[in-house]
Chains A and B, each alone.
Chain A
Amino acid sequence: MPLLEVKGLAKRYRAKDGAIVHAVKTVSFTLEAGQILAFLGPNGAGKTTSIKMIAGLIRPDDGDVLIAGHSVGRRTRAALIHLGAVLEGSRNLYWRMTPLENCEYWGGIRGMNRKSSRLRGLELLDLCGLADKSHHTVQQLSRGMQQQVAICCALLHRPALLLLDEPTLGLDLEASDRIQALVRDLALHDQVGIVLTTHQMEIAEALSHRVAIIRKGEVILENGTEQALAAFSGNTYGVDLTEPPTVEKRALLELQGATFDSPSSFRIVLETASDVHPLLNLLRPIGVLRVQRETADLATVFRHYVETDEPSRTFAGGGAE
């Protein structure tokens, strides 16, 4: 049984002029424990609406969400016990209270007693390097620290599923790195399933096992992150040599489709990976510093799907370990 099953979510609103607006047309995906899913899309694509439907804060018009087998719509209480969330654009914390007092409060309303909320809060704040800030009020902390405290509060009750809506938005590099390390650690060591929305593609690529891209309310790609990148990487190889090849040899390489970026480095398209061997034979006796298949980044994949009318592609399995 998957940790999270999102099945055919749809949400429509009536605009002020009476027209029906399809905020989310159809969103489906699954997530296993220990996986990080990057849920990507341009502004207004339906990411936050989908995240709030998963959290039970917006009632979908169609579809259902199962968290650990419990329907968020029908068995809300049982489902919410397994859920933690840090929502975008919200403070998520009481600013007049300290991080530790916030931990005690948010743990309490999730059914934890004061002692266990406090101990767990101290453990999480320590993990984030914020133990020395546990007695400052939240309003005295930097934005990065506040965001980390919000994540700590969402993790108090050891949820199996964590929703993070833009967790690194507006943070400096150091705070962003800390949050990335925390997210990676949660998935790897605590087997928390994480749905992460972000506009920062390099963060999504670095963290995620799976990727889902939403455009105009529809999931148009769902796949393992590596598979999605591999599908766009093609068979272009970059080669760096110790010295420029002779004129005859260069002409021969160019005849086979090589494009020289500098006198001693070129790119060439090979049909299969085993074609690297004849290429190396051809280059002999020139020294070879690097032969590497060039890979696409997530930004390229994202742009391709969002900026073209590519039909939706979903793949079963793939991705996470």
Chain B
Amino acid sequence: MMWQAFVAEFRREWITLRRYPTEFFGELVVVVVIFYGLFLGSSYMSGGGIFGARLSSVILGYTLWTLSLAAIGNMGYSISNEAQNGTLEQVFLSPVGAVRILILRNIASLIFSMLFTILVIYGIMALTGHFLPLSPIDLVPLVMAVGTAMGIGFLIASITILFKRTNQLLGLLQFVLLFIIMTPFTTFHGAWQYLGVIAPLSPMVGLLQSMLVDHQGLLTAPGHWFWWGFVNVALWLGLGIAVFSRAYARAKTRGTLGHY
């Protein structure tokens, strides 16, 4: 039943992309152009431009940020849009169950988001002329980042399912997330280093940095960030699913599941 539901969700995403490609490519152009604008702006302000490892970090941070925003936003937007359009209650009538449907939906949607992210990275690299040595193994921290982002997505979905209108919150979250991704928690020392484990996405940022900038291996990167990444995913995804399950039950009790 889960596989059939996943295929259905994947095909729905694919049909929307195929039928309305301008939405996908329009968004792609906007995301790349915004980065290029920031790049040119910061080069102008600093007088010398951004180069080398610093530029690599900024490119990585930016792409991770857009991917995480897609994972988080998918949940919140999906629920509020579907409540507004009148399909949410039908989705929740599925015997697969609300939590599993949302996970499958997000996985399906994130396959396309990964494609989007890869195009963004190559677009940015082409524009800046700064090429990172990418390999398929680099997708591992990205997939882990998506796991944590899905957990935060479930937290947003919990608020959305109860209060429906969370667009302002999602707008604010963009900046919180940007702060978290750009802060090098994994380089902190003493008791502060635990923040690197707990802060959402932080181990994955550190891991990607080690792999792409310092040319370390996935398992050989210092700080065991690969394994701490799993802890981070389990923490946020577990918390997100637990809170969403409670919020879903609460919405059913309050009778507001399909309201908008």
Query: Which of A13, A95, A111, A113 gathers the greatest number of chain B CB atoms within 10 Å?
Result: A111
Q: Is B53 an interface residue (CB 8 A)?
A: no
Residue interface bits B95-123, CB-to-A below 8 A is 1, else 0: 11100010000000000000000000000
Q: Is B258 an interface residue (CB 8 A)?
A: yes
Cβ B11 vs Cβ A105 within 8 A: yes
- Interchain nearest-CB distance for A204 vs B (Å): 23
Q: Indicate which residue in B5, B19, B89, B252 contacts A59 across the interface (CB closer than 8 Å).
A: B252
Q: Is A136 an interface residue (CB 8 A)?
A: no
Cβ B92 vs Cβ A57 within 8 A: yes
Q: Which residues of B contact A94 (CB under 8 A)?
A: 12, 85, 87
Q: Is A85 an interface residue (CB 8 A)?
A: yes
- Interchain nearest-CB distance for A272 vs B (Å): 51
Q: Which residues of A contact B253 (CB under 8 A)?
A: 58-59
Residue interface bits A76-107, CB-to-B below 8 A is 1, else 0: 11101101010101111111110001001111
- Interchain nearest-CB distance for B77 vs A (Å): 15
Residue interface bits A52-81, CB-to-B below 8 A is 1, else 0: 100111110000000000000000111011
Q: Which residues of A contact B20 (CB under 8 A)?
A: 96
- Interchain nearest-CB distance for B177 vs A (Å): 29
Q: How far is the CA of A110 from the CA of B148 in the complex (A)?
A: 28
Q: How far is the CA of A111 from the CA of B5 in the complex (A)?
A: 6
Q: Is A283 an interface residue (CB 8 A)?
A: no
Cβ B11 vs Cβ A87 within 8 A: no
Q: Is B4 an interface residue (CB 8 A)?
A: yes
Cβ B101 vs Cβ A104 within 8 A: no
Q: Which residues of B contact A265 (CB under 8 A)?
A: none
Q: Which residues of B contact A109 (CB under 8 A)?
A: 4-5, 8-9, 91, 94, 96, 101
- Interchain nearest-CB distance for B191 vs A (Å): 44
Cβ A89 vs Cβ B86 within 8 A: yes
Q: How far is the CA of A111 from the CA of B95 in the complex (A)?
A: 8
Cβ A105 vs Cβ B89 within 8 A: no
Q: Which residues of A contact B254 (CB under 8 A)?
A: 13
Q: Indicate which residue in B86, B90, B252 contacts A106 across the interface (CB closer than 8 Å).
A: B90
Cβ A91 vs Cβ B252 within 8 A: no
Which chain B residue lies CB-closest to A52? Answer: B255
Q: Is B7 an interface residue (CB 8 A)?
A: yes
Interface size on A, residues (CB 8 A): 42
Q: Indicate which residue in B5, B8, B86 contacts A90 across the interface (CB closer than 8 Å).
A: B86
- Given known A-B contacts A59-B253, A81-B95, A109-B101, A92 and B86 have beta carbons under 8 A apart: yes
- Interchain nearest-CB distance for A136 vs B (Å): 12
- Given known A-B contacts A55-B93, A57-B93, A104 and B8 have beta carbons under 8 A apart: yes
The A-contacting residues of B in range 1-34, CB under 8 angstroms, are: 1, 4-5, 7-9, 11-12, 15-16, 19-20
Q: How far is the CA of A25 from the CA of B23 in the complex (A)?
A: 48
- Given known A-B contacts A59-B253, A109-B5, A80 and B95 have beta carbons under 8 A apart: yes
Q: How far is the CA of A80 from the CA of B89 in the complex (A)?
A: 13
Q: Is B40 an interface residue (CB 8 A)?
A: no
Q: Which residues of B contact A83 (CB under 8 A)?
A: 93
Q: Is A290 an interface residue (CB 8 A)?
A: no
- Interchain nearest-CB distance for A155 vs B (Å): 13
Cβ B86 vs Cβ A57 within 8 A: no
Cβ B89 vs Cβ A110 within 8 A: no
Q: Is B257 an interface residue (CB 8 A)?
A: yes
Q: How far is the CA of A1 from the CA of B12 in the complex (A)?
A: 39
Cβ A90 vs Cβ B4 within 8 A: no
The B-contacting residues of A in range 100-140, CB under 8 angstroms, are: 101, 104-114, 117, 137
Q: How far is the CA of A13 from the CA of B258 in the complex (A)?
A: 16
Q: Is B139 an interface residue (CB 8 A)?
A: no
Q: Is A209 an interface residue (CB 8 A)?
A: no
- Given known A-B contacts A58-B257, A105-B12, A90 and B91 have beta carbons under 8 A apart: no
Q: Is B140 an interface residue (CB 8 A)?
A: no
Q: Indicate which residue in A58, A76, A90, A93 contacts B255 across the interface (CB closer than 8 Å).
A: A58
Which 10 residue pairs are nearest across A and B when measured between Cβ atoms?
A108-B8, A90-B86, A111-B1, A91-B86, A80-B95, A109-B94, A59-B252, A58-B255, A77-B95, A109-B5
Question: Can you sample 23 A-B contacts with CB below 8 Å?
Answer: A11-B255, A56-B93, A57-B92, A57-B93, A58-B255, A59-B253, A76-B97, A77-B95, A80-B94, A89-B86, A92-B86, A92-B90, A93-B87, A95-B85, A96-B20, A101-B11, A104-B8, A104-B11, A107-B4, A107-B8, A109-B4, A110-B94, A114-B11
Besides the contacts A104-B11, A108-B5, A114-B8, what 18 more A-B pairs have beta carbons closer than 8 Å? Answer: A56-B93, A57-B252, A76-B97, A77-B97, A90-B87, A91-B86, A93-B87, A94-B87, A96-B15, A101-B12, A101-B15, A105-B12, A108-B8, A108-B9, A109-B5, A109-B8, A109-B91, A114-B4
Residues of A near any B CB (own CB < 8 A): 11, 13, 23, 49, 52, 55-59, 76-78, 80-81, 83, 85, 87, 89-97, 101, 104-114, 117, 137, 153
